[in-house]
């Protein structure tokens, strides 16, 4: 069954149709909208290696080069390329050569088939960066830097490179077009390329983290939902004594800003990192909030721009001393302020978990692609925020502190998607999925259908706002067709009008009522593979049951069905809105 929250939209459309004098049958359509879906020594990352961990979507840190196959381990090889740095004219571009034993480079040369550069007459062991502009390269890497003798360029649009000695090709690599500020990392293990079979690798943004899933043994947690419990996030902020780290997509909530300033005034170190280019523009209310934070001594960094590490900085979390707060909601009245969205959140007190998330924050906050809040405010263009007027909703679900077994910290783009797939693949009985945005081609949806095929009871509840309604209805029809044809226990519903909240903005999963996932990631490729997202997987039946109870209440809300004779007219009239809205959902933003 597909639920539609269209009563207000229908009424508005009828007025529009009447005003334009159009036949009702030509009036309606739908659309899509706002929710956006360290590989660096100058960041927070050991160097990626020649392999890819099944649980990571990024190149993983090196083991010892001495662990390589002895038959090939002594031969030098190219392990890293940086063809397209953010410098003017790509000055400082470089490659990294790796050797496992002391190696004389004097008889080696590097060629792209058109030009050739000789390696310096130096003996090296381990990693060394080779470049024609050593001073600039030293600003881009912590590896030792040596200057090439001659000229060879690393073409940004892709190329093949050969490392040669007097006897022929020692190693060969090939790469495709290099995006700005992305590095190429060798992926095959213990393998040297040849002229006929050059080694290929993987790209990863310079300065982006590449961290495995971190697990903390935790005794209890406090799950909560919005709009029911807007006080809990503020209490977390107000409770900080030494450090307060807040990460978000946007911040427009003046009450949150006041709490951050109050913390700074009582001596807490307060840092904030935000996205520089949210879909639809930076809301005008952001300008005043940033000014207040600046006056109040809060250190704000804004992340983004050309060559940024992430398509969108989209997480919603805070670290207050040893307390961790992770939510699905933006730092705005309609989100964390409890004035609109159904969101999920969780509060956990644990020093190890806080330390892990603080390390992620520091890497993002200190990155090369951030500017201060004051600099951003001086140069940014702001757009009018046409948010809905404040609403009040009843408190149906109070926060509950419950015992849990463990918490996993999941991060996009590096490890969230493979770990979420593992959790879905491990479901035995039931999957409850609540999402603001689901793309029909995302791999997690494929895993969910496969779960239904092996007998898992699957229910998916998605938002029905105008900008996602058309896509979600199409998704529901396709999944229900599959369920009918294959006799699967797979049901999809769009949330209906309810007095409990305005729209679904949650991004959550409950697995067998034993594990719950809460975080910022939409089920879109962009969100999972390009954005910075933060999620927690909470292991514990009582926490999972808390979110399952909220899911059940939202699932069982009143339905409102559109009369069949009006359905065609309604679908036609939303087409214009669909064209405008679809570009927002494409980016997996908000």
How far apart, in whole angstroms, are the C-alpha atoms of residue 303 and residue 106? 43
- Assigned CATH class of 214-383: alpha beta
Give the model's pLDDT for residue 59: 82
CATH entry 3.30.870.10 includes domain 7-34+402-586: yes
Which of 576, 579, 578, 583 is CA-nearest to residue 22?
576
pLDDT > 70: percent of the chain:
82
- Phi, psi at residue 450, to the nearest 5°? -65, -35
For 53-190, strand residue ranges (E) read: 77-82, 94-104, 109-111, 116-118, 123-131, 145-147, 149-150, 159-165, 168-175, 182-186
Tell me the mean pLDDT in the region 178-191.
85
Contact between residue 245 and residue 271 where contact means Cβ atoms under 8 Å apart = yes
Question: Does 517 have pLDDT greater than 80?
Answer: yes
Give the model's pLDDT for residue 589: 52
Give the model's pLDDT for residue 427: 98
Q: What are the residue boundaries of the structural domains of the chain, listed by start?
A: 7-34+402-586, 65-205, 214-383
Contact between residue 29 and residue 578 where contact means Cβ atoms under 8 Å apart = yes
How far apart, in whole angstroms, are the C-alpha atoms of residue 165 and residue 106? 9
pLDDT tens, residue by residue, 195-212: 899 999 999 999 999 999
Rounded to the nearest 10°, the torsion over CA 536, 541, 542, 543 is 10
Tell me the mean pLDDT in the region 68-72.
46
Which of 358, 415, 433 is CA-nearest to residue 533?
415
Question: Does 566 have pLDDT greater than 80?
Answer: no
Give the model's pLDDT for residue 497: 77
Give the model's pLDDT for residue 188: 62
Give the model's pLDDT for residue 371: 97
pLDDT tens, residue by residue, 475-502: 999 999 999 999 999 999 999 878 889 8
Contact between residue 132 and residue 117 where contact means Cβ atoms under 8 Å apart = yes
Q: Are strands 123-131 and 145-147 parallel, antiparallel or unpaired?
A: parallel
* 271, 536, 539 from 53: Cα distances, Å: 32, 20, 23
Tell me the mean pLDDT in the region 286-313.
97
Question: Does 51 have pLDDT greater than 60?
Answer: no
Pick 385 or 527 by higher pLDDT: 527
* 58, 214, 508 from 416: Cα distances, Å: 11, 11, 13
How far apart, in whole angstroms, are the C-alpha atoms of residue 474 and residue 590? 22
For residue 281 the two structure tokens come to 């523009």
Question: Does 3 have pLDDT greater than 60?
Answer: no
Question: Does 44 have pLDDT greater than 60?
Answer: no
pTM: 0.84
Give the model's pLDDT for residue 57: 84
Give the model's pLDDT for residue 54: 59
Pick 575 or 83 by higher pLDDT: 83
Give the model's pLDDT for residue 73: 55
Question: Does 49 have pLDDT greater than 80?
Answer: no
Lowest-pLDDT choice from 133-137, 225-229, 375-379, 562-566:
562-566
Give the model's pLDDT for residue 159: 96
Tell me the mean pLDDT in the region 509-535.
98
Give the model's pLDDT for residue 498: 83
Tell me the mean pLDDT in the region 6-27.
34
How far apart, in whole angstroms, are the C-alpha atoms of residue 432 and residue 416? 18
3-state secondary structure of 377: helix
pLDDT tens, residue by residue, 447-467: 999 999 999 999 999 999 999
- Assigned CATH class of 65-205: mainly beta
7-34+402-586 matches 65-205 in fold: no
Give the model's pLDDT for residue 2: 42
Pick 385 or 504 by higher pLDDT: 504
pLDDT tens, residue by residue, 269-285: 999 999 999 999 999 99
Question: Does 558 have pLDDT greater than 60?
Answer: no
Mean pLDDT of the chain: 86
Question: Does 325 have pLDDT greater than 90?
Answer: yes
- Cis ω on the peptide bond leading into residue 13 (within 30° of 0)? no
Contact between residue 393 and residue 501 where contact means Cβ atoms under 8 Å apart = yes
> Within 412-496, where are the H helices?
416-425, 443-453, 466-486
Give the model's pLDDT for residue 53: 55
How far apart, in whole angstroms, are the C-alpha atoms of residue 381 and residue 429? 50
Q: Is 485 exposed, middle or buried (0-12, 13-18, 19+ CB in 10 A)?
A: exposed
pLDDT > 90: percent of the chain:
75
pLDDT tens, residue by residue, 105-148: 999 999 999 999 999 999 999 999 999 999 999 999 999 999 99
């Amino acid at each position: 069954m597909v639920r539609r929250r269209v009563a207000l939209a229908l009424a508005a459309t009828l007025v529009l149709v009447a005003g334009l004098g159009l036949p009702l049958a030509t009036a309606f359509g739908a659309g899509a909208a706002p929710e956006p879906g360290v590989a660096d020594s100058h960041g927070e990352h050991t160097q990626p290696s020649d392999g890819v961990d099944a649980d990571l979507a990024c190149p993983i840190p090196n083991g010892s080069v001495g662990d390589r196959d002895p038959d090939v381990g002594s031969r030098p090889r190219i392990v890293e390329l940086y063809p397209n740095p953010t410098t003017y004219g790509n000055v400082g571009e470089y490659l990294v050569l790796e050797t496992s034993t002391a190696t004389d480079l004097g008889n080696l040369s590097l060629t792209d088939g058109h030009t050739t550069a000789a390696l310096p007459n130096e003996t090296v062991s381990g990693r060394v960066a080779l470049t024609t502009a050593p001073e600039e390269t030293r600003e881009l890497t912590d590896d030792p830097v040596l200057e090439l003798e001659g000229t060879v360029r690393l073409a940004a649009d892709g190329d093949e490179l050969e490392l040669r000695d007097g006897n022929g090709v020692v190693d060969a690599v090939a790469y495709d077009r290099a995006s700005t500020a992305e590095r190429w990392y060798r992926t095959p293990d213990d393998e040297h390329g040849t002229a006929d079979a050059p080694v290929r690798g993987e790209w990863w943004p310079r300065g982006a983290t590449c961290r495995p899933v971190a697990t903390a043994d935790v005794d209890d947690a406090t799950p909560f939902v919005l709009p029911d419990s807007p006080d809990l996030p503020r209490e977390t902020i107000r409770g900080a004594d030494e450090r307060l780290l807040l990460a978000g997509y946007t911040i427009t909530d003046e009450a949150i800003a006041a709490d951050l300033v109050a913390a700074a005034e009582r001596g807490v170190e307060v840092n904030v990192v935000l996205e520089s280019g949210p879909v639809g523009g930076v809301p005008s209310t952001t300008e005043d909030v940033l000014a207040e934070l600046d006056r109040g001594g809060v250190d704000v960094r804004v992340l983004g721009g050309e060559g940024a590490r992430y398509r969108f900085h989209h997480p919603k979390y805070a670290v207050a001393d040893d307390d961790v707060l992770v939510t699905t909601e933006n730092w705005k009245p309609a989100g964390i302020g409890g004035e609109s969205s159904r969101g999920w959140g969780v509060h956990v007190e644990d020093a190890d978990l806080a330390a892990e998330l603080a390390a992620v924050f520091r890497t993002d906050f200190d990155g090369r692609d951030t500017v201060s809040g004051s600099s951003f405010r001086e140069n940014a263009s702001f757009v009018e925020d046409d948010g809905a007027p404040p609403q009040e909703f009843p408190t149906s679900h109070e926060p509950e502190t419950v015992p849990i077994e463990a918490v996993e910290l999941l991060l996009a783009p590096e490890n969230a998607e493979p770990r979420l797939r593992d959790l879905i693949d491990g479901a035995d009985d039931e999957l409850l999925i609540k999402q603001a945005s689901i793309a029909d081609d995302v791999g997690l949806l494929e895993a969910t259908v496969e779960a239904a095929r092996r007998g898992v009871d699957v229910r998916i509840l998605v938002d029905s706002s105008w900008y996602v309604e058309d896509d979600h209805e199409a998704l529901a029809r396709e999944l229900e067709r599959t369920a009918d044809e294959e006799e699967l226990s797979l049901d999809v519903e769009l949330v209906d009008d309810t007095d409990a909240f305005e729209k679904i903005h949650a991004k959550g999963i409950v697995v067998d009522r034993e594990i719950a996932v809460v975080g910022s990631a939409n089920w879109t490729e962009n969100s999972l593979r390009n954005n910075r997202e933060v999620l927690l997987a909470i292991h514990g039946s009582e926490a999972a049951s808390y979110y399952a109870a909220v899911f059940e209440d939202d699932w069982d809300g009143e339905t409102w069905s559109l009369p069949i004779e009006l359905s065609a007219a309604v679908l036609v009239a939303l087409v214009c809105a669909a064209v405008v809205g679809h570009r927002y959902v494409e980016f997996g933003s908000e």
